[in-house]
């Protein structure tokens, strides 16, 4: 059982994610942006950072690199794919999840702990939470404001995974900060579960995302 950690020039949460996969009992492997076949993997995580300097839009350039073909192949094989922060922006740019994460309402880089509601606990990543459970994880982004044209479809298909509880730090539509595809196997979250994976960090709620992947394999 092996989980890939996708690396682009400018990724900076890759080692944290690698460490957290191991904490959750999984085996991790780095996958560089130019690799397009890694079908032997059981899941992949796209970590946060500033891939390609966020040029054009956050995630735009990463979304056309060869590694995307490999990610799409895993999706076809119904293997879990989790995008965190820049990884979430990349999944939005690829179009594997609906909507996009764009410039914050207050256009500054915002780094703080937030309370989040687990709106959908039927994905592999959130299966260890109760529905509507309030959890604590940090956000760290300047482009995290979620926007989608067809919010009704998102709701009716239960594709909202995480919502800010209380304060909305970036102006996201309906406080949304985590969405999934129709199957629930591709999930994009702006908050950082890997930065909330051990009590010494302030919360271990995020570890459940990785345990969820490991348990689903």
Partner 1 sequence: MIFNVEVKISLKKGMLNPESSTIELALDLLGYKVKNTDTIDIITFQMEENNESKVLEEVDDMCQRLLCNPVIHDYEIVITN
* Active-site amino acid positions: 85, 192, 194
For partner 1, the closer CB: 100 or 214:
100
Nearest distance in Å: CB 148, partner 1: 7
- Interface pick for partner 1 out of 26, 49, 83, 99 (rule CB under 8 A): 99
Q: Is 123 in the site for partner 1 (CB under 8 A)?
A: no
Shortest separation between residue 32's beta carbon and partner 1, angstroms:
20
Structure tokens at 13: 């949460």
Give residue for tokens 């056309």.
64
Q: In the complex with partner 1, which residue's Cβ is closer, 50 or 147? A: 147
Task: Indicate the length of the chain as a whole number.
Answer: 217
Q: Residues 4, 33: contact at Cβ < 8 Å?
A: no
Distance (Å, whole) CA 217 – CA 215: 6
Q: Which is nearer to partner 1, 148 or 196 (CB)?
A: 148
Q: Which of 23, 103, 140, 217 binds partner 1 (CB under 8 A)?
A: 103
Q: How far is CA 141 from the centre of its chain?
A: 13
- Determine the Cα–Cα distance for residues 49 and 124; give it in Å rounded to an integer: 23
Interface with partner 1, residue 9, by CB under 8 A: no
Rounded Cα gap, residues 97 and 102, in angstroms: 14
Interface pick for partner 1 out of 69, 149, 155, 182 (rule CB under 8 A): 149
- The residue among 66 and 202 lying less far from partner 1, judged by its C-beta, is 66
| Closer Cβ to partner 1, 23 or 140, answer by number | 140
Decide if 11 contacts 51 (C-beta within 8 A): yes
HSE of 146, CA atoms in CB hemisphere, 13 A: 31
Residue 99 in contact with residue 147, Cβ under 8 Å?
Answer: yes
Burial of 210 (0-12, 13-18, 19+ CB in 10 A): buried
Contact between 148 and partner 1 by CB under 8 A: the answer reads yes
Query: From the list 64, 76, 78, 167, which residue makes contact with partner 1 (rule: CB under 8 A)?
Result: 64
Does position 176 bind partner 1 by CB under 8 A? no
Q: How many residues bind partner 1 (CB under 8 A)?
A: 19
Site residues for partner 1 per CB under 8 A: 56-57, 60-61, 64, 93, 99-100, 102-107, 145, 147-149, 171
């Amino acid at each position: 059982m092996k989980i890939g950690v996708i690396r682009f020039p400018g990724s900076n949460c890759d080692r944290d994610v690698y460490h957290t996969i191991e904490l959750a009992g999984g085996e991790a492997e780095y996958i560089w942006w130019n690799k397009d076949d890694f079908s032997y993997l059981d899941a992949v995580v796209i970590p946060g950072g500033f891939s390609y300097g966020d040029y054009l839009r956050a995630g735009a350039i990463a979304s056309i690199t060869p590694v995307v073909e490999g990610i799409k192949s895993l999706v076809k094989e119904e293997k879990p794919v989790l995008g965190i922060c820049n990884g979430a922006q990349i999944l939005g740019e690829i179009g594997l999840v609906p909507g996009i994460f764009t410039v914050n309402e207050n256009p500054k880089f915002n780094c703080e702990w937030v309370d989040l509601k687990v709106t959908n606990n039927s994905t592999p990543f959130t299966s260890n939470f109760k529905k509507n459970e309030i959890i604590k994880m940090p956000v760290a982004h300047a482009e995290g404001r979620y926007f989608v044209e067809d919010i009704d479809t998102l709701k009716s298909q239960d594709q909202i995974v995480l919502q800010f509880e209380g304060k909305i730090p970036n102006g996201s539509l309906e406080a949304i900060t985590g969405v999934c595809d129709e199957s629930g196997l591709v999930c994009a979250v702006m908050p950082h579960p890997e930065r909330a994976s051990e009590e010494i960090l302030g919360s271990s709620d995020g570890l459940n995302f990785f345990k969820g992947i490991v348990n689903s394999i």
